[in-house]
Amino acid sequence: MMTITRAFEFCSGHRLYRPDWDEEHNRAVFGLCSNPAGHGHNYTLEVSVTGPLDHETGMIMNLRQLKEVVKEKVIADVDHKNLNVDVAWMKGAIPTTEVFADKIWQRIEAVLKKEAPHVVLEEIVLHETASNRVRKRRQS
């Protein structure tokens, strides 16, 4: 088995808050990220898949196919969008990096199971900033 990784970049805005909390409590929990005007990030998403090497093609998976899946199921929905308002599959969720990464995982994994069953989604790493990232791995 081998693992390949492809990286993607996109920009999104969001606001961390709970509508059932007052502004003071939101500020205490989420800090500046609860600003009513929101804020944005230049994200990097790394997507890794694992599978057997196909000796006929020399590939685990054509990276073009992985690119198409991620662009169609994730990037097209979130690039230059407000996660709280514009992204249907984030509605009702607090768009922390952890929640965002989990939702991204669900979308990619569902497509790969149908369209590329010879590979498994091994890991995603969502970089919110140069200092902050979330890593989600396949559970054995």
pLDDT, tens digit, 9 for 90 and up, residues 100-112:
999 999 999 999 9
123 is catalytic: no
Comparing CA positions, the residue from 69, 138, 136 lying closest to residue 107 is: 69
Tens-place pLDDT, residues 14-53: 999 999 999 999 999 999 999 999 999 999 999 999 999 9
In the CATH scheme, what is the code of domain 2-14+40-137?
Answer: 3.30.479.10
Domain spans, the chain: 2-14+40-137
Comparing CA positions, the residue from 71, 70, 16 lying closest to residue 40 is: 16
5 burial (CB, 10 Å; 0-12 / 13-18 / 19+) is middle
Catalytic residue among 72, 80, 98, 115: 80
List the beta bridge partners of residue 81. 12
Rounded CA-CA distance 10/40 in Å is: 11
128 is catalytic: yes
33 is catalytic: yes
Predicted TM-score (pTM) of the model is 0.94
